């Protein structure tokens, strides 16, 4: 029986004992009506109703506090609010139907007064029950949110307590032996209403992927999504049939519908197995998010796999600085500076060395492109048309893009 509750007692003044059979039957019937909600959650509610019917007595504060505690207990047991309220309403209906003839046979005014007293008890009790239930649910949600945040923080950090992390992640539906990937979404400025962002993503992602092995949270001003991935794409991006099946675009399209936060940028780490794979995917997504800003990537969704070459280049920053300095700094001597020539090299390499397509992309004439290529060869000593020189120039251009040169001074190579 619930703490602080006692068996239903007979109505005051009835002369019956505390285990009055008719009250017990009312409780059992109400429990059946509510789908098997434990009768213990009624506490002294039936006695309050019976007292109100017989004498018109209203509940005292302590009695209502006991009902509130029962509401909290129902929430902690995981019973839905609707079923608990149904238990109380069904109990009131059944009690009024089974109330002793001594109450129902009175004159009309007495019956009306008894009914009003019972309804008053029902009103106060159900309201108090719901209040206690909601308070407990809010506490449970706060505790769950705290646990969720702690679990995802440890997952993204690659916590060394593997056994404990697996155990803590299991209640959230995470199988850490599977392959996962992490995606991050950054708003235009600071993160707006995080609850709205999380709700929007959960609804869409759960609908597409199910609610197993998925977690949505916030961290450091970013929206974080941990999602399952196909084991066949470990270490590389998926090949989605269309945009709707891609995690990054799914996130972007949902977030872009929110009133605040636009434009959003989403970065998706590669898929990796195990606990440490989650931390690795997260670091890749963070790095891709940062690098996409530095590289001025036009697409609002970037994949870590697509930026691998920049990660390789920047891993040995002194070497790439030295390369850019040795190969490209002579371009600063050109009229108009180095940027137009760098843009020409970028377009030329991206089009496979086709001058006409490069000119179309740059919105200039083919003659201008060929003139700039000749100028690059003259200033640097490397001819973009020569295969042996092309690799050196392309690596240097990629490095300059990653370092945001010439927009920013080159860092020290030491």
The correct CATH number of 165-308 out of 3.40.50.2000, 3.30.450.30, 3.40.1190.20, 3.30.70.2730 is 3.30.70.2730
Q: How far apart are CA 61 and CA 187, in angstroms?
A: 49
Which residues lie below 8 Å from residue 229, measured CB to CB, with a gap of 6+? 179, 180, 181, 238, 271
Neighbours of 338 (CB within 10 A): 20
Among 138, 7, 139, 130, smallest CA distance to 70 is for 130
Q: How far apart are CA 303 and CA 184, in angstroms?
A: 10
Contact 272, 233 (CB under 8 A): no
Q: How far apart are CA 271 and CA 307, in angstroms?
A: 15
- Provide the b/e sequence for 221-242 (b: ≥16 CB within 10 Å): ebbbbbbbbeeeeeeebbeeee
Handedness of CA 163, 168, 169, 171 (dihedral sign): positive
Per-residue pLDDT of the chain (414 residues; tens, 9 = 90+): 333 334 445 433 334 444 477 888 899 999 999 999 999 999 999 989 988 888 888 899 999 999 999 999 999 898 999 999 999 999 999 988 877 654 555 577 777 888 888 899 999 999 999 999 999 988 887 888 788 888 888 899 886 677 788 888 888 888 888 899 999 999 887 776 777 888 888 888 888 877 778 888 888 889 999 998 875 566 565 555 455 568 899 999 999 888 887 889 999 999 999 888 999 999 999 999 988 887 778 889 999 988 888 877 777 888 889 999 999 999 999 988 999 999 999 999 989 999 999 999 999 999 999 999 999 999 999 999 888 888 889 989 988 988 889 988 988 755
Domain range list for the chain? 21-140, 165-308, 316-402
Neighbours of 25 (CB within 10 A): 12
Report the CATH architecture of 316-402: Orthogonal Bundle (1.10)
């Amino acid at each position: 029986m619930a703490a602080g509750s006692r068996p239903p007692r007979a109505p005051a003044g009835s002369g019956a004992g505390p285990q009055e059979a008719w009250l017990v039957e009312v409780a059992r019937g109400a429990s059946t009506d509510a789908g098997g909600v434990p009768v213990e959650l009624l506490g002294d509610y039936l006695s309050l109703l019976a007292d109100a019917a017989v004498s018109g007595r209203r509940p005292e504060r302590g009695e209502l506090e006991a009902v509130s505690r029962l509401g909290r207990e129902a929430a902690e047991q995981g019973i839905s609010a609707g079923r608990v309220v149904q238990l109380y309403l069904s109990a009131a209906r059944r009690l009024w139907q089974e109330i002793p003839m001594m109450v129902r046979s009175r004159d009309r005014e007495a019956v009306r007064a008894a009914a009003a007293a019972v309804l008053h008890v029902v009103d106060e009790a159900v309201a108090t029950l719901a209040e206690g239930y909601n308070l407990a649910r809010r506490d449970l949600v706060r505790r769950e949110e705290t646990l969720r945040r702690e679990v995802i923080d440890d997952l993204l950090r690659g916590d060394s307590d593997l056994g404990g992390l697996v155990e803590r992640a299991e209640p959230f539906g995470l199988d850490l032996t599977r392959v996962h990937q992490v995606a991050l979404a950054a708003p235009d400025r600071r993160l707006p209403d995080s609850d709205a962002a999380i709700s929007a993503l959960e609804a869409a992602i759960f609908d597409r992927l199910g609610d197993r092995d998925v977690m949505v949270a916030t961290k450091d001003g970013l929206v974080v999504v941990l999602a399952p991935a196909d084991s066949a794409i470990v270490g590389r991006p998926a090949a989605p049939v269309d945009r709707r099946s891609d995690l990054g675009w799914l996130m972007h399209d949902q977030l872009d519908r929110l009133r605040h936060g636009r434009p959003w940028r989403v970065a998706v780490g590669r898929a990796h197995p195990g606990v440490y794979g989650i931390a690795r995917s997260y670091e890749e997504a963070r790095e891709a998010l940062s690098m996409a800003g530095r590289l001025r990537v036009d697409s609002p969704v970037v994949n870590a796999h697509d930026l691998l070459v920049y990660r390789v280049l920047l891993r040995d920053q002194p070497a790439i600085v030295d390369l850019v300095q040795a190969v490209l700094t002579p371009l600063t001597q050109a009229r108009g500076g180095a940027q137009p020539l760098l843009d020409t090299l970028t377009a030329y390499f991206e089009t496979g060395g086709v001058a006409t397509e490069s000119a179309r992309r740059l919105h200039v004439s083919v003659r201008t492109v060929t003139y700039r290529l000749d100028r690059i060869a003259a200033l640097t000593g490397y001819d973009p048309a020569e295969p042996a020189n092309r690799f050196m120039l392309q690596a240097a251009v990629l490095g300059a893009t990653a370092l945001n040169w010439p927009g920013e001074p080159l860092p020290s190579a030491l």
